[in-house]
Amino acid sequence: MKFLSCLAIVFVLSATAYAADVDGKWTGTVSTGQGDIPVVFNFKADGTKLTGSTTGLDGGEVPINDGKVDGSTITYTVTFDFGGMPLMLSYKGIVAKDEIKVTADVLGMTLEFVLKKSQ
């Protein structure tokens, strides 16, 4: 019985200690009705906190906000500036070895795309 209890504790601790390896540059393409849009994200995880940036439409860096890492799931927001009007996008990604399957909420519309880790 003690063995099973210890094994269960080790399993729970190892499962919660796992964090996805998202550090680095990730690139992909979002397909829209207006054509494909390239996307680039630079991520840095520190425990359960996710920071980084993405590239805006003007080529400038836009910071990632409210980033979290929970196992293989990442969530974050990015607020773009469109002529003085803020547009916040919410993202959720599932991290695998060399890709992240991302779902983005854009004004109530869902966009899905895949990011690949850059070498």
pLDDT tens digits for range 38-94: 999 999 999 999 999 998 877 889 999 999 999 999 999 999 988 889 999 999 999
Look at residue 67 and tell me if it is in a domain.
yes
> Which pLDDT value is given to residue 19?
54
Answer whether 105's CB lies under 8 Å from 89's CB: yes
25 lies in a domain? yes
Residue-wise pLDDT tens digits, 5-35: 333 343 333 333 445 689 999 999 998 888 9
Asked if residue 104 is part of any domain, the answer here is yes
Q: Is residue 51 part of a domain?
A: yes
Structure tokens at 20: 């996805």
Structurally, the chain folds into a number of domains equal to: 1
The confidence score (pLDDT) of residue 71 equals 94
Considering the domain boundaries, does residue 1 fall inside one? no
Q: Which domain holds residue 104?
A: 20-117
**Structural domain includes residue 91:** yes
Tens digit of each residue's pLDDT (9 = 90 or more) over 32-45: 888 998 999 999 99
> What pTM value is reported for the model?
0.80
Say if 12 falls within a structural domain: no
Q: What is the DSSP string of the chain?
A: -HHHHHHHHHHHHHHHH------EEEEEEEEETTEEEEEEEEEEEETTEEEEEEE-TTS-EEEEEEEEEETTEEEEEEEEEETTEEEEEEEEEEE-SSEEEEEEEETTEEEEEEEEE--
54: in domain: yes
CATH of the domain at 71: 2.40.128.20
